[in-house]
């Protein structure tokens, strides 16, 4: 499975800490999501998709658009 969180974050030049603060999350959780050590629930996936302005399918690597 491709999870594009890290790719999107780096493309926008946002640190894990900034993303965590913006989404009221823990930086360690962001790291674990990016390294696929932890799976995000659907509410968290929606937060990420909304934050970066992408679809859930794109975030999860199901589409390239």
Domain annotation covers residue 41:
yes
18-54 burial, b at 16+ Cβ within 10 Å, e below that, comes to ebbeeeebeeebbeebbeeeeebeeeebebbbebbeb
| Alpha-carbon separation of residue 18 from 11, 25, 26, 57 (angstroms) | 14, 10, 10, 24
Length of the chain as a residue count: 65
The domain that contains 32 carries what CATH number? 1.10.260.40
pLDDT per residue of the chain (65 residues) written in tens, 0 to 9: 679 999 999 999 999 999 999 999 999 999 999 999 999 999 999 999 999 999 999 999 999 98
| pLDDT at 2 (0 to 100) | 78
Q: Which residue has the tokens 């970066």?
A: 52
Domain annotation covers residue 64:
no
Domain annotation covers residue 11:
yes
Domain annotation covers residue 25:
yes
Containing structural domain, residue 42: 5-59
> Domain count of the chain?
1
Sheet strands (E) in 1-65: none
| pLDDT at 3 (0 to 100) | 94
| pLDDT at 12 (0 to 100) | 97
């Amino acid at each position: 499975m491709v999870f594009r969180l890290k790719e999107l974050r780096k493309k926008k030049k946002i640190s894990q800490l900034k993303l965590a603060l913006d989404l009221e999350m823990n930086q360690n959780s962001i790291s674990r999501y990016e390294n696929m050590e932890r799976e995000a629930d659907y509410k968290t996936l929606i937060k990420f998709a909304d934050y970066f302005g992408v679809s859930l399918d794109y975030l999860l690597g199901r589409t390239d658009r």
